[in-house]
């Protein structure tokens, strides 16, 4: 995710903060400080950081359970709307997804139990009169927040935890694609309700509603794409009819090639045909603006971050392409020679064709 930075690594998972998280902390501290001075600002900051530590524990509940099924989690990102653990893939079976989805709420329930026990043993007041979190003792406020998070996360609004539980149950009966489609529609229905409530009571709910609506749509599309791409290898996905550019060609030559046809991404090779880099349309336009039309393509091309083997699976190749930050990657044969181009446009076309032929 853009605008995020790593603050540490736990068990192979990078823990990242989105910059808006820092803005939230600063705003929360400033607001509390305006009302109650430095002590109130410090209390508010400590309380907010404690909440997000609990959210991080919740996410690591998902991460640890996913690891039991062989699913790695490259990163977890904390933002003002909560935590997001990015699994490298979904568990293979609905039963596994069910346990992964429930692991986070189970951690939150354990936090609630511990906080309740500590407050009871110490004789601290559990009175929530006024519900003023800014003035409550931190442990009492954390108890209230974690109870709220537990209840909210179990609402069956996909892709929240409760929605993933619902998807796992539906997928067990009707398959992953159909189950995801129904769970996504239910999740979007909840998002509409949240949005209306947010307009009436709390604008923050509108933000959450928008996230749920778009995330449900995106995940449903991703599941359908994976299903359509099942069994496909990079050799079946790649573009084979393409032009290459020589490393000493000018950006004017590249612009002419761009305008002459439909190709948008060009492998750059040396005089012996060895791959040197990749010139995408965006890099070409940027190069023309910065270096002029007579500069060589070498001045604007990107080094190739990864090469796709011919036999790489659909899902692995798509993940590699998305992770590269480029719109295309070269596909190479066993000898390392350039065999084709993997582009998002071609993958999209392939998925659409397979969907149409499978339902036709």
Regarding whether 127 and 159 lie in a shared domain, the answer is no
Regarding whether 8 and 22 lie in a shared domain, the answer is yes
Domain C-terminal end among 228, 246, 273: 228
Residue 135 pLDDT grade (very low, low, confident, very high; cuts 50, 70, 90): low
- At 297 the three-state DSSP class reads helix
Q: Encoding tokens for residue 319? A: 């993940």
Regarding whether 147 and 14 lie in a shared domain, the answer is yes
Q: Cα separation of 348 and 360, whole Å?
A: 18
Regarding whether 125 and 60 lie in a shared domain, the answer is yes
pTM across the whole model: 0.74
Q: How many CB atoms lie within 10 A of CB 289?
A: 10
Domain C-terminal end among 133, 151, 169: 151
Greater pLDDT, 36 or 313: 313
Regarding whether 242 and 114 lie in a shared domain, the answer is no
pLDDT for the residue 318: 84
Domain C-terminal end among 228, 244, 265: 228
Q: Alpha helix (H) ranges present in the chain?
A: 19-68, 94-121, 138-153, 161-174, 176-200, 203-228, 234-237, 251-260, 281-291, 314-324, 344-359
Question: For helices 203-228 and 176-200, what crossing angle results, to 10°?
Answer: 170
Give how many domains the chain has, as a whole number. 3
The answer to whether 329 and 321 are in contact (CB under 8 A) is: yes
List, for residues 285-321, the tens digit of each pLDDT value: 999 999 999 999 999 999 888 889 999 988 888 888 8
Regarding whether 18 and 89 lie in a shared domain, the answer is yes
List, for residues 148-204, the tens digit of each pLDDT value: 999 999 999 988 999 999 999 999 999 888 899 999 999 999 999 999 999 988 888
- At 86 the three-state DSSP class reads strand
In CATH, what number is assigned to the domain containing residue 309? 3.10.580.10
What's the mean pLDDT when you consider all of the chain? 87
User: If 0-12 CB within 10 Å is exposed, 13-18 middle and 19+ buried, where does residue 66 land?
Assistant: buried
List, for residues 99-132, the tens digit of each pLDDT value: 999 999 999 999 999 999 998 888 766 655 445 5
pLDDT for the residue 131: 53
Q: Cα separation of 170 and 186, whole Å?
A: 12
Most confident of 36-45, 83-92, 106-115, 343-352: 106-115
Q: Cα separation of 23 and 228, whole Å?
A: 41
HSE, CB side, 13 Å, CA atoms: give it for residue 56. 20
Regarding whether 219 and 121 lie in a shared domain, the answer is no
Regarding whether 112 and 9 lie in a shared domain, the answer is yes
Regarding whether 112 and 34 lie in a shared domain, the answer is yes
Phi then psi dihedrals of residue 344, to 5 deg: -65, -35
Q: Among 209-213, 224-228, 319-323, 345-349, name the one with the lowest average pLDDT.
A: 224-228
Regarding whether 249 and 224 lie in a shared domain, the answer is no
pLDDT for the residue 50: 92
- At 46 the three-state DSSP class reads helix
Q: Cα separation of 144 and 111, whole Å?
A: 11
Regarding whether 4 and 122 lie in a shared domain, the answer is yes
Which range of residues forms the domain containing residue 131? 1-151
Regarding whether 187 and 74 lie in a shared domain, the answer is no
The answer to whether 51 and 98 are in contact (CB under 8 A) is: no
DSSP state of 303: P
Q: Angle at the Cα of 115 (from 109 to 116), degrees rounded to 5?
A: 90
């Amino acid at each position: 995710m853009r605008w995020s930075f790593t603050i540490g690594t736990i068990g192979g998972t990078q823990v990242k903060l989105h910059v808006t998280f820092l803005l939230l902390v600063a705003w929360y501290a400033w607001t509390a400080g305006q009302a109650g001075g430095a002590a109130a600002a410090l209390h508010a900051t400590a309380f907010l950081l404690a909440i997000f530590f609990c959210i991080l524990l919740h996410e690591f509940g998902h991460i640890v359970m996913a690891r039991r099924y062989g699913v790695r989690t490259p990163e977890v990102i904390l933002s003002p709307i909560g935590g997001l653990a990015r699994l490298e893939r979904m568990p293979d079976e609905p039963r596994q997804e069910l346990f992964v989805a429930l692991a986070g709420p189970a951690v939150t329930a354990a936090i609630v139990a511990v906080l309740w026990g500590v407050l009871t043993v110490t004789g601290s007041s559990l009175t929530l009169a006024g519900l003023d979190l800014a003035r409550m003792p931190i442990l009492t406020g954390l108890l209230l927040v974690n109870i709220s998070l537990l209840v909210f996360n179990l609402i069956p609004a996909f892709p929240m935890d409760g929605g993933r539980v619902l998807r796992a149950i539906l997928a067990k009966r009707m398959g992953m694609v159909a189950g995801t489609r129904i769970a996504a529609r239910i999740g979007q229905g909840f998002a509409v309700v949240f949005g209306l409530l947010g307009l009436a009571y709390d604008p923050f709910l509108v933000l959450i509603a928008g996230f749920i609506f778009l995330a449900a749509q995106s995940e449903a599309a991703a599941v359908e794409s994976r299903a359509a791409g099942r069994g496909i290898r990079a050799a079946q996905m790649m573009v084979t009819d393409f032009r290459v550019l020589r490393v000493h060609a000018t950006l004017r030559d590249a612009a002419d090639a761009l305008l002459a046809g439909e190709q948008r991404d060009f492998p750059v090779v040396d005089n012996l045909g060895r791959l040197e880099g990749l010139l995408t349309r965006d890099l070409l336009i940027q190069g023309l603006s910065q270096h002029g039309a007579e500069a060589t393509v070498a001045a604007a091309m990107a080094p190739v971050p990864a090469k796709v083997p011919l036999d790489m699976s659909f899902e692995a190749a798509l993940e590699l392409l998305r992770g590269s930050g480029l719109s295309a990657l070269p596909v190479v044969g066993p000898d390392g020679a350039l065999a084709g181009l993997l582009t998002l446009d071609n993958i999209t076309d392939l998925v659409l064709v397979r969907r149409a032929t499978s339902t036709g």
